[in-house]
């Protein structure tokens, strides 16, 4: 029978859990990106009432075993997406073996942190922009740059996993959700295209930018949301008729002084605007 590093890695990882204070629940079969759900033993503090101690963290772990030493192992993009989407702390355990070795010679824990969440969602959007929604057929290298080393027999597994949540599982889950929803929308995330009807469309736009009328009737408004700078055809909003409203800010303020026939001076404050570049000429 052909040796299976994956089964070997999962069995070895499972043997580390009990000494590290975890109860391991296997995912059989693995369909949602994780091999184990680890339930940590509760840590009870005698200085606080028991009914106020509700800390029972759970972790999702995908185990990857490899006999390759020159390149990072690869993982399905769909599995990464599942770990990102899960409302639990998640990590990838990578075990490195010698050829046909019985025990791993090295193990690292790769946390699903802010950077990995953003990288994964960017890759997913790139694939969808190419017309590929079958991300289970796409494999990407596991990022080992921020990996946490643990001992040869799993020593430090508990410390590595608990460091992901920094002792506050609820705060981690809230933060993870916020990163999922917000990352990739920096820069100019929204692009809009519209048509201004009428022969005097140029003058209508000019008034809008020059502090005149604040509302403008427009047609065929297409709002395109870009994430990581990538637009998608199914991430657009189309409105046949709409009203564009804009409060054009003044570039600076000035004062015009007028002398009356009686010799008195009157100062009139004014705001200074500028037309947009498409009005040049």
- Write b or e for each residue in 87-122: b if 16 or more Cβ atoms lie within 10 A of its Cβ, otherwise e: ebbbbbbbbbbeeeeeebeebbbbbbbeebbbbbbb
Task: Name beta bridge partners: 218.
Answer: 242
Residues for the chain: how many in total? 281
User: pLDDT, tens digit, for every residue of 138-176?
Assistant: 999 999 998 999 998 899 999 999 999 887 888 889 999
> What pLDDT is attached to residue 261?
75
pLDDT category at 277 given cuts 50, 70, 90 is low
Percent of the chain's residues with pLDDT above 90 = 46
pTM value is: 0.76
Percentage of the chain modeled with pLDDT above 70: 89
**What's the pLDDT band for 6 if we cut at 50, 70, 90?**
confident
For every residue of the chain, which 3-state class applies, written as one string? CCCCHHHHHHHHHHHHHHHHCEEEEECCCCCCCCCEEEEECCCCCCCCCHHHCCCCCEEEEEEEEECCCCCCCEEEHHHHHHHHHCCCCEEEEEEECCCCCCCCCEEEEEECCHHHHHHHHHHHHHHHHCCCCCHHHCEEECCCCCCEEECCCCCCHHHHHHHHHCCCHHHHHHHHHHHHHHCCCCCCCEEEEEECCCCCHHHHHHHHHCCCCCEEEEEEEEEEEEECCEEEEEEEEEEEEEEEECCCCCCEEEEEEEECCCCCEEEEEEEECCCCHHHCC
Q: 210 — phi, psi (to 5°)?
A: -100, 20
């Amino acid at each position: 029978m052909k040796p299976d590093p994956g089964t070997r890695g999962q069995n070895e990882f499972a043997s580390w859990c009990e000494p590290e204070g975890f109860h391991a629940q296997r995912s059989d079969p693995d369909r949602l990106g994780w091999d184990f759900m680890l339930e940590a033993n509760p840590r009870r503090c005698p200085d606080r009432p028991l009914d106020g101690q509700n800390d029972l963290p759970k972790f999702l772990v995908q185990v990857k075993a490899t006999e390759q030493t020159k390149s990072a192992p690869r993982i399905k993009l769909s599995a990464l997406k599942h770990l990102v989407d899960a409302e639990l702390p998640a990590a990838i355990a990578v075990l490195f073996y010698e050829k046909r070795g019985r025990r791993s010679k090295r193990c690292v824990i790769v946390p699903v942190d802010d950077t990995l969440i953003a990288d994964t969602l960017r890759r997913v959007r790139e694939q969808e922009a190419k017309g590929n929604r079958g991300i289970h057929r796409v494999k990407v290298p596991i990022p080992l740059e921020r990996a946490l080393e643990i001992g040869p027999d799993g020593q430090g597994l508990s410390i590595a996993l608990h460091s992901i949540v920094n002792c506050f599982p609820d705060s981690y889950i809230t933060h993870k959700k916020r990163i999922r929803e917000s990352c990739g929308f920096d820069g100019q995330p929204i692009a809009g295209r519209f048509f201004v009807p009428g022969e005097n469309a140029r003058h209508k736009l000019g008034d809008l930018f020059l502090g005149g009328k604040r509302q403008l009737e427009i047609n065929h408004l297409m709002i395109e949301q870009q994430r990581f700078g990538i637009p998608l055809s199914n991430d657009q909003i189309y409105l046949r008729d709409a009203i564009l409203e804009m409060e054009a800010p003044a570039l600076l303020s000035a004062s015009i002084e007028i002398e009356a026939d009686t010799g008195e001076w009157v100062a009139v404050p004014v705001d200074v605007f500028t037309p947009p570049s498409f009005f040049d000429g």
